[in-house]
Amino acid sequence: MAELALPAAAYLAHLLPARITLLHLVERHPPSEVHHERHLTSAAEASEYLAEIRQRRFSGEAAVECHVHTSETDDVARSIVEHIGELAPDLIVMCTHGQGGLRRWMFGSKAQQVIALEKTPILLIPPTRQAGLEFQCARIVVPLDGNAEHEQGLRVATELAQVCRAAQHLVFVIPTVGRLKGEDAATGRLLPHTMAALLDMQQEEAAEYLGCHIVNLREAGLIISAEVARGDAVSAIVAAAQRTQADLIVMGTHGKAGMEAFWSGSVTPLVSDRSPVPLLLVPVRGQT
């Protein structure tokens, strides 16, 4: 299942162009099977496997390297992060397969742990049937919330759209009174009409905010559309991706995972779990 990440990696490497490093980590005390396939238990097996992948998937491509971490590791996510320092990639590409339910909420998937530990963009490929097909990038959905730091995701999406000649669809979600959280939810219950009026004002401001981005991006020669949605942010983002037949969602993220993401109300892990298309997470860095 991890091989579902290969079509996207090959597409971007050819388009940019870029060097690909195939990485395998030897786990300590691994299960005998992973997703009904035998687990690789030695560095020799892993090296043979990666060489076979390079030959089968990247035949004729010179810029593909194989790297096997021979020392057994208990913490796969942290070991990946350590290799980021060694290999210095511009992008990590991973499939989002993993365990769900309470364990995923408490500890986060390996992909979410990596994005929480490191500041390198990560492209998450959902484990769907379509993921095994050839990857393309003709339509990109970019969620925005008015936060200038989160616009770092838009900048990356715009650069990618220019390279891929892709159209971008911007989405800004305003909650309904029933979808408010924390102090806003309490205010909404006490003063529902007042809160509804405030949310309507936010919707108008969001439309103006998107309008400014549309003008700037169209002046740069890009194909842009936008919408202000109302309701649950995760549902609206996923619905926009489905409706526009997007190939990719690009989001800026503060890299919260597990219970930290739960208590902060982060939408990123939820979008990752529900997205039918690949999700590119751009770590947010403080403005300088």
Do the domains at 2-131 and 139-280 have one common CATH topology?
yes
Per-residue pLDDT tens digits for 52-103 = 999 888 876 668 999 888 777 667 777 777 777 788 889 989 887 654 443 4
Question: Residue ranges per domain, the chain?
Answer: 2-131, 139-280
Instruction: Tokens for 192, please give them.
Output: 């529902």
Give the confidence band of 235 by pLDDT, cuts at 50, 70, 90. Answer: very high
Q: pLDDT tens across 127-168, in order?
A: 875 655 789 999 999 999 998 888 999 999 999 999 999 999
- CA 200 → CA 49, 115, 193, 207, 215, distances in Å? 56, 34, 11, 11, 23
Fold held by 2-131: Rossmann fold (3.40.50)
Q: Is 170 exposed, middle or buried (0-12, 13-18, 19+ CB in 10 A)?
A: buried
Q: What is the pTM of this model?
A: 0.84
**Residue 202 pLDDT > 80:** yes
Residue 284 pLDDT class (50, 70, 90 cuts): confident
The pLDDT value recorded for residue 263 is 38
- Give residue-wise pLDDT tens across range 18-44: 899 998 887 776 666 565 666 677 888
Q: Check pLDDT > 80 for residue 172.
A: yes
200-230 in b/e form (b: 16+ CB < 10 A) is eebeeebeebbeebbeebeeeebebebbbbe
CATH code of domain 139-280: 3.40.50.620
Contact 78, 114 (CB under 8 A): no
Q: In the block, which residue shows the tokens 């892990």?
A: 269
Question: For the chain, what's the residue count?
Answer: 288
Place of tokens 């000649």: 165
